[in-house]
A and B are shown apart, each in its own frame.
Chain A
Amino acid sequence: MSLLSRIFGEKKKTAAVAKERLQLIIAREHGSGTRGPDFLPALQRELIEVISKYVSVNPEDIKVNLEKQDNYEVLEVNIVLPDQAR
């Protein structure tokens, strides 16, 4: 760091950069389930089984996602029904 940039503090301190990067990566890793429950694949499988009893759906039309928002988690289930099912 040059003396000038030191005086004017134009460059961000590396510790602050480290903290920002960690905040992002930890949030992402929690979201992807590294720290959360790992029941999502099983839940998805069972949902497909149950729904297939009533309508024919493609396995890829059912999406299960767990998202972390501050203090609570949101379980999002997205099912796309084919047109002829209705």
Chain B
Amino acid sequence: MTRVVVVTSGKGGVGKTTTSAAFASGLALRGFKTAVIDFDVGLRNLDLIMGCERRVVYDFVNVINGEAKLNQALIKDKHCENLFVLPASQTRDKDALTEEGVETVIRELEHMGFDYIVCDSPAGIERGAVMALTFADEAIVTTNPEVSSVRDSDRILGILQSKSKRAAEGREPVKEHLLVTRYSPKRVEEGEMLSYKDVQELLRVPLLGVIPESESVLHASNQGTPAIHLKGTDVAEAYTDVVARFLGEERALRFVAYEKPGLFKRLFGGN
């Protein structure tokens, strides 16, 4: 059975595309046949983060309009055997996404035997964002520990609970997961940043993970390599844990506690 997972947030720039790329790659690394779709029509970015921008010929809107076949538009990922990217169109706007069109593509991916379809939502609460969550079975609500992001996440939760097909058809509701990203344990310790516990208490959604603020994310996007592949970095480890938890495994939270660099550490280095 195919599961459709939307990565959403309401607010822009919180790390949805970074997360979609890492999460989809993580599922593929675990052996699942995975497609990741860029719903940010007009502002496509997922292709750059996945490092496949030079191989884009056809896009999501071409497939919806019948100008290309789905398998002509799907781009095979360069790192993972069973991962495919469906890029967004850059020349159209979000009205090009029709509910029937999106549904047709999702059904076809199901027929092709995909285990997971990851939908990278655009920011906002308008058409593009609503289309990205309409067919979702699960949602990863990506939130920065910051006031406007938390409030916007709350808004998008409301939209999930009213506009998704599952809600409209009165089926079992979309399974919600909270992912706190760009987390700085030091600033939390100093009382300058909401803690992940605060965010969870405010939004009341089960916590899937915490991704630390990390310079590695920029290195990853510079190279077009999803952050989960940067072996040994905190973000890669944190995203690997997120995928494991999503698959039902127990993993303790890491990278959430601030340890003051003690004298011993300063003298002898190491971790």
Contacts and interface: CB of A to CB of B under 8 A. Distances in A.
A25 B151 contact: yes
B198 A35 contact: no
B57 interface: no
Interface string B153-191: 011011001100000000000000000000000001011
Nearest to B155: A34
Contact of B151 (A15, A19, A22): A22
A35 B158 contact: yes
Contacts of A29: 151, 154-155
A84 to B, nearest CB: 42
Contacts of A14: 191-192
A38 B151 CA distance: 19
Given A15-B193, A15-B194, A23 B188 contact: no
B147 A18 contact: yes
Interface in A16-37: 16, 18-19, 21-23, 25-26, 29, 34-35
B188 A15 contact: yes
Query: Chain A: interface secondary structure?
Result: helix
Contacts of A19: 194, 198, 202
A25 B202 CA distance: 10
B158 A23 contact: no
Contacts, number: 42
Nearest to B198: A19
Contact of B147 (A13, A22, A38): A22
A85 to B, nearest CB: 38
B24 to A, nearest CB: 29
Contacts of B155: 29, 34-35
B192 A35 contact: no
Contact of A15 (B154, B158, B198): B198
- The 4 residue pairs across chains A and B that have the minimum distance between CB atoms: A13-B191, A35-B158, A19-B198, A15-B191
Interface of B: 146-147, 150-151, 154-155, 157-158, 161-162, 188, 190-195, 198, 202
Interface of A: 13-16, 18-19, 21-23, 25-26, 29, 34-35, 38
28 contacts: A13-B191, A13-B192, A14-B191, A14-B192, A15-B188, A15-B191, A15-B192, A15-B193, A15-B198, A18-B146, A19-B194, A19-B198, A19-B202, A21-B147, A22-B147, A22-B194, A23-B202, A25-B151, A26-B150, A26-B151, A26-B154, A29-B151, A29-B154, A29-B155, A34-B155, A35-B154, A35-B157, A35-B161
